[in-house]
């Protein structure tokens, strides 16, 4: 059974992400980055229970809430998307998540900006967190200081203030 599917950098792939991907029930790694897929991140991705590393860079405007159903996720790259105006709360439900990149979501016409919620705290397994190149403002959330396994934190090119926890 297929465990890794890499369709990245096929710049002419477009339309919606095909639902047939769920036929690959043992899929662990899915790379659809640098394509022209459109629409929301489909809910059916949540049915891929073994999925641990989706790379969905440069999707068209969408919503990442369906990824909260993928309990095995360890790595999520949603950089250079147009996720809306805040960090998706559903990502906080992923207890195994180790690497999260939401970089450059103020890219092009997106408006990933506003205050970084003071109560924002990724899961305790987090090792790498990249929120760079957004228009985030406010104080660095104190919960980030509780991430004992964190080895890389990138908050560059934002409008954050206060102390680093």
pLDDT tens by residue, the chain, 165 residues: 899 888 888 877 778 888 888 888 888 888 888 777 776 677 777 778 778 777 776 555 455 666 777 777 888 887 777 666 566 667 777 788 888 888 887 644 444 444 455 556 667 788 999 989 887 877 887 778 888 899 999 999 988 888 887
Task: Return the SS3 of 79.
Answer: coil
- Residue 16, domain extent: 4-161
CATH number of the CATH domain containing 14: 3.80.10.10
Pairing of strands 128-130, 99-101: parallel
CA distance 116 to 112: 10
- How many independent structural domains does the chain possess? 1
Task: Return the SS3 of 53.
Answer: strand
| C-alpha 141: how far from chain center | 18
Distances in Å between the Cα of 121 and the Cα atoms of 45, 51, 69, 157 are: 24, 23, 19, 20
């Amino acid at each position: 059974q297929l465990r890794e599917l890499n369709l990245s950098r096929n710049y002419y792939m477009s339309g919606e992400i095909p639902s047939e991907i769920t036929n690959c029930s043992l899929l662990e790694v899915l790379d659809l980055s640098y394509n022209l897929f459109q629409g929301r991140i489909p809910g059916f991705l949540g049915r891929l229970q073994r999925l641990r590393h989706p790379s969905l860079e440069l999707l068209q405007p969408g919503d990442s809430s369906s990824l909260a159903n993928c309990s095995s996720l360890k790595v999520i790259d949603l950089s250079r998307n147009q996720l809306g105006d805040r960090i998706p709360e559903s990502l906080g439900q992923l207890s195994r998540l180790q690497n999260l990149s939401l970089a450059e979501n103020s890219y092009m016409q997106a408006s990933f900006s506003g205050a970084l919620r003071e109560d924002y705290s990724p899961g305790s397994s987090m090792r790498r967190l990249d929120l760079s190149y957004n228009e985030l403002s406010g104080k660095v959330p104190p919960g980030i200081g509780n991430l004992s396994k964190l080895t890389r934190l990138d908050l560059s090119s934002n409008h954050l203030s206060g102390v680093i926890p």
